[in-house]
Amino acid sequence: MLQVKTPEEVLALIKKEFTPLSDCTELVPFTGALGRVLAEDIAAEEYVPDFDRSTVDGYACRASDTFGCSDAIPAILNLAGEVRMGSAAGIKLPRDSCVYVPTGGAIPEGADCAVMLEYTEDYGDGTIGIMKPGAPGMNLIYRGDDVFPGKVVLKAGRLLTPQDIGALAAIGRMQVPVQRKLRVAVISTGDELVPPEQDPGPGQVRDVNSPLLCALLEDFGAEPVHFGIVVDDKDLLREKMEAAVRECDAVILSGGSSVGVKDAACQIIESMGTLLLHGIAIKPGKPTIMGKAGNKPLVGLPGHPVAAFFVAKLFVLPLLARLEGRELHRYPARARMTESLNANHGRMQVNACRLISSDTGLTAVPVRSKSGLITQLAGADGYLIIERDREGLDKGAEVEVCLD
């Protein structure tokens, strides 16, 4: 008999039992790579910039020709030309000379600094007065300062952000190896469930978990595959789960909170592979099961939407990230409790909250409602985690609010 595991044990179990998929890479155009998981390190193959550039509008010159100059005693340099944007400098700088160069323009051979326009004066006779001494390297970006061949710009496992797309453009990387999107089956069980578009009859409720979990998977960057609602029937459930495991990389079952169905799900998982977990010491979310068929996870979430949501956030998404080799970064916000929140179960407790910004910082308002009510989640901004050994959160306490 499997024992209830702590959240830490469950995360360790995930790491131990599942490995990143090996056949999971596809090439996509870099403009379509936003929000995808990088499958390999990306190294530059060229220099960026490919030439020495000025970071200012001004005059490129030899610093040594300007040493000792000042407002009172400018260095007088011959104007040897002008660099145009998008062109080679096209000149080798003679001694005691300078060339005009715009921001981003190429620095001519022989020059080792650029003096900003405001520290210069054009005397109109082919000479330029320099009022502020240059120093070698001043206001320059050298060839390869940004990147050079072999420099790793982005690491495998990173979820690509807009700025990463910019970096890929900068190095001319037009095709990017990313993890293909995981296909994740979503199955709801329960005799009481009707599809959301159907009016519930007596004793019936709409299936919330299917659209909730599909949206969560979509948001995560996976491809949800909805397998519909299965009534509490072991044979039908087995059939559905077998089809799901054939077609998908992972299967998420929810509902079946009745003892019979949970037992059936456990038996089906055992017959398909290995049952790894039966119960997590978390509230809500305890009746969670997890197993695997090969390297494919099979998860049974509680039927209560709130519980299913928290367990999916806290354990299913890290599990999928593990399959993808994705680095999952989650940074909480810091806020003060507007009121106290009790907890004392010997279990980690998760509670939705709203966040309110004020002049004195962020405050967290716990959302109070009976277990399983979906409106606890609608409109919530994040969630609070109260560790097992903590007897609730006091009013005014500083807390970390999980945002994703």
| Residues between 48 and 107 that touch a copy of itself (CB under 8 A) | 48-51, 55, 57, 83-89, 102-106
Q: What span, in angstroms and rounded, lies between the C-alpha atoms of 97 and 324?
A: 58
Q: What phi, psi does 372 have (nearest 5°)?
A: 90, 0
Nearest approach in angstroms of CB 91 to a copy of itself is 12
**By C-beta, is 150 or 162 nearer to a copy of itself?**
162
The size of the interface with a copy of itself (CB under 8 A), counted in residues, is 99
Contacts of 326 (CB under 8 A, 6+ apart): 37, 157, 159, 179, 320
**Under the criterion CB under 8 A, does residue 153 sit at the interface with a copy of itself?**
yes
Single out the segment in contact with a copy of itself by CB under 8 A; choices: 17-25, 253-261, 318-326, 342-350: 253-261
**Under the criterion CB under 8 A, does residue 403 sit at the interface with a copy of itself?**
yes
Range 159-188, binding a copy of itself (CB under 8 A)? 161-170, 172, 174
Range 363-392, binding a copy of itself (CB under 8 A)? 369-375, 377-382
Single out the segment in contact with a copy of itself by CB under 8 A; choices: 12-20, 239-247, 263-271, 354-362: 354-362
Which token pair is 122? Answer: 């054009």
Answer for which of 66, 120, 210, 363 binds a copy of itself (CB under 8 A) is 210
Contacts of 331 (CB under 8 A, 6+ apart): 403
Q: What span, in angstroms and rounded, lies between the C-alpha atoms of 324 and 326?
A: 5
Nearest approach in angstroms of CB 337 to a copy of itself is 16
Sign of the CA dihedral running 4, 6, 9, 11: positive
**Under the criterion CB under 8 A, does residue 232 sit at the interface with a copy of itself?**
yes
Answer for which of 95, 155, 345, 368 binds a copy of itself (CB under 8 A) is 155
- Give the SS3 label for residue 170: helix
Nearest approach in angstroms of CB 277 to a copy of itself is 20
Q: Packing angle between helix 234-247 and helix 259-272, nearest 10 degrees? A: 40
**Under the criterion CB under 8 A, does residue 277 sit at the interface with a copy of itself?**
no
Burial of 170 (C-beta count, 10 Å sphere; 0-12/13-18/19+):
middle
Range 7-26, binding a copy of itself (CB under 8 A)? none
Single out the segment in contact with a copy of itself by CB under 8 A; choices: 14-22, 251-259, 338-346, 389-397: 251-259
Contact of 318 with 16, CB cutoff 8 Å: no
Taking Cα atoms as reference points, which of 72, 24, 314, 363 lies closest to residue 178?
Answer: 24
Q: Which strand (E) or helix (H) includes residue 9?
A: helix 7-17
**By C-beta, is 75 or 383 nearer to a copy of itself?**
383
Range 290-349, binding a copy of itself (CB under 8 A)? 303, 305, 309, 329, 331-334
Range 130-149, binding a copy of itself (CB under 8 A)? 141, 145-147
